[in-house]
Chains A and B, each alone.
Chain A
Amino acid sequence: MKVEGIVVKVGDHIDTDVIIPGRYLGITDPVELGKHALEGLDPSFPAKLKPGVILVAGRNFGCGSSREEAPVALKAAGVRCIVAKSFARIFYRNAINVGLPIVECSDIQSYVKDGDKISVDLSSGTIEAAGVEFKFKPLPDFILRILEAGGLTNYIRRLRGLPIEV
């Protein structure tokens, strides 16, 4: 599974309150949530997120509240993958469950800048940025299978023998 995109960088400890502030909770439409992605950090941030973005973040991305609206909003705003030094555990699960690939890699942050084109190979555990390769520990097979299905909802539909759209 390979993901290509344009880098948008953010810092350490990006919490789910700034990814999607509390006042937007209760909205279930992804497109509506996507309009407010990372608004809590900077009201102009949603405008920076276009289809095909790969977020490159520091430590502890997605800490705080369990709100699944956070990865849903980022995905709907066009984020294809998140590369961070580390993730908070609930966000980690939620991102996989909504079909948003995430990888832990600590080397790339200082190398790339906003607008760079990078490619993430989830199965082999490599990121390519301007000809330079960065390694990360690939996701376990069962998590890759959930991502390949497009998230846990489709994965369960498949287990139940129901049709899925990826």
Chain B
Amino acid sequence: MNIAEKILARASGRSFVEPGEIVDAKVDRVMFHDLTGPMTLKAFEEMGGGLVWDPDRIVVIFDHIVPASSIASAENHAKLRRFVENQRIRWFYDVGRGGICHQVMVEKGHVCPGELIIGADSHTCMYGALGAFATGVGATDMAAILLTGRIWLRVPEAIMVKYTGSMPSYLSGKDLILYTIGKIGADGANYKAVIYSGSVIENLSMDDRLTMSNMAVEMGAKTGIVEPDETTLSYLKGRIDRNFSIVRSDGGAEYSEEYEFDVSDMEPQVACPYRVDNVKPVSEIEGIPIDQAFIGSCTNGRLSDLRIAAKILKGRKVSRGTRLIVIPASQDVYREALREGLIEVLLESGAMICNPTCGPCIGVHLGVLSSGETCIASINRNFIGRMGSRESKVYLASPATVAASAVEGRIADPRRYL
């Protein structure tokens, strides 16, 4: 069995599972946030309510609209705080305590290799970078898990994606995953698990792996996994307070499809409106004027993302007529970026630094676009109206490409700055 099958077999108390089967699995940990929480609680009450199955396995994180931007979001926060209190939920990250949910989940040790983790958010698949099976669900599914601790899952076929060659220093995990989505397509991995492998992945940092697993859902995948290795263990060190066992694919495990990409000559990649699989090398679209640049989100708001942005922006200014918004993915990332002096460099360049939140990525607050505006962002989706007006446009790229574009006021090739 491959790693996805092995984790689902263990979680459902079976010795063997195969793609297409429906298993009834025991969930190791769940997460929901301030935007999927209200509907989850509504469904929980409508199901008859009562006590949650295990308050020690539930993580609640406020991140989408923080701090509350309206009376309605404040009411939702208050409702969730009461639930957390009444149910004695152990892991609660209120405003100022955590940050963007997926970053908090991995950075605070809520994800171990080999675990089955379900989140009420589509980018839950990010935790696959730590060798877990993690996937997103909606509110009613989450409510049912809160009551029972179980979920039905179809065992997915697995797509193996191998990255070979020598990775140029200007490339990042974001470029690799955009390229991959461009090749596989927005629905090319529907219902399937994607497993990233090859020498390039073995040498890839955890931050970059997290970006790649995060965007597995943008090709329809149920989860995006990197087999755990030394990089995984060293990332987990000091974060985990419980026992876990490493699960890896068996030799001879089966995959429904295999892809191999040589990254040696790959250019920085950009996904153009309005589809994440509408991917082009930066040289083909350089020069498109931008009104806003945004570095942040669960996809690319980590320390290495802020480092590369600061490296490019050091001693330079954000172009007149363009605004740059930077959002560290968590309080920890923010603190570390301050300590390293990155925040100061970004401030000097003219960037506006906002608190950890999903806000602009979902077009809700802190950087909403007007009609006719164009934004280049290090986020994960460029759908119609994603960041605001349905007459605005979003281009997706790496933090390096976004930072270079902020300097030039138009989509720019970061290789000139690296």
Residues on A lying within 8 angstroms of B by beta carbon are 13, 15, 17-18, 21-23, 25-28, 40-41, 43, 59-60, 63-69, 72, 86-90, 93-94, 97-98, 140, 142, 151-153, 156-157, 160, 162
**Chain B contact residues, majority secondary structure:** loop
Query: B190–A18 contact, CB under 8 A?
Result: no
Q: Would you call B99 an interface residue if the criterion is a C-beta within 8 Å of the partner chain's C-beta atoms?
A: no
Q: Would you call B136 an interface residue if the criterion is a C-beta within 8 Å of the partner chain's C-beta atoms?
A: yes
Q: Would you call B48 an interface residue if the criterion is a C-beta within 8 Å of the partner chain's C-beta atoms?
A: yes
Interface residue stretch chosen among B3-11, B39-47, B264-272, B313-321? B39-47
Give Cα A72 to B38, complex, Å. Answer: 14
Instruction: A22-B386, A157-B47 are known; give 16 further A-B pairs, CB within 8 A.
Output: A18-B383, A26-B73, A28-B39, A66-B136, A67-B35, A68-B39, A68-B139, A68-B140, A88-B190, A89-B190, A89-B220, A90-B137, A98-B140, A151-B140, A152-B140, A157-B46
With A66-B121, A89-B222, A156-B48 known as contacts, the answer to whether A25 contacts B362 (CB < 8 A) is yes
Give Cα A90 to B65, complex, Å. Answer: 22
Kindly identify, within residues 113 to 146 of chain B, every residue whose CB is under 8 Å from any CB belonging to chain A. 120-122, 136-141, 143-144
Give Cα A68 to B43, complex, Å. Answer: 11
> Across the two chains, which residue of chain B brings its CB closest to A69?
B39
Give Cα A71 to B349, complex, Å. Answer: 43
Residues of B within 8 A of A63 (CB): 186-187, 220
Query: B138–A97 contact, CB under 8 A?
Result: yes
Could you say which of A23, A27, A140 has the most chain B C-beta atoms within 10 Å of its C-beta? A23
Give Cα A118 to B143, complex, Å. Answer: 34
Query: B187–A64 contact, CB under 8 A?
Result: no
Residues of A within 8 A of B48 (CB): 156-157, 160, 162
> Across the two chains, which residue of chain B brings its CB closest to A95?
B138
A88 smallest CB distance to B (angstroms): 6
| Number of A-B residue pairs having CB atoms within 8 Å of each other in the complex | 122
- Neighbour of B141 across the interface among A25, A60, A97, CB < 8 A: A97
Query: B137–A156 contact, CB under 8 A?
Result: no
Query: B138–A90 contact, CB under 8 A?
Result: yes
Residues of B within 8 A of A40 (CB): 383-385, 390
Give Cα A66 to B38, complex, Å. Answer: 14
Query: B381–A18 contact, CB under 8 A?
Result: no
Residues on B lying within 8 angstroms of A by beta carbon are 22, 35-36, 38-39, 42-43, 46-48, 64-65, 72-73, 76, 120-122, 136-141, 143-144, 147, 152, 186-187, 190-191, 220, 222, 275, 362-364, 381, 383-386, 390
Query: B36–A68 contact, CB under 8 A?
Result: yes
Residues of A within 8 A of B190 (CB): 60, 86-89
B326 smallest CB distance to A (angstroms): 20
Give Cα A34 to B391, complex, Å. Answer: 22
> Across the two chains, which residue of chain B brings its CB closest to A91?
B138
> Across the two chains, which residue of chain A brings its CB closest to B36?
A66
Residues of B within 8 A of A18 (CB): 383-385
- Neighbour of A22 across the interface among B46, B72, B187, B364, CB < 8 A: B364
Give Cα A40 to B386, complex, Å. Answer: 9
- Neighbour of A160 across the interface among B47, B362, B363, CB < 8 A: B47
A-B contact pairs, 29 of them (CB 8 A): A13-B275, A17-B383, A18-B383, A18-B384, A18-B385, A22-B386, A25-B64, A40-B383, A63-B186, A64-B122, A66-B36, A66-B137, A66-B138, A67-B36, A67-B138, A68-B39, A72-B39, A88-B220, A89-B190, A89-B222, A93-B137, A93-B138, A97-B140, A97-B141, A98-B140, A152-B43, A152-B144, A153-B47, A153-B143
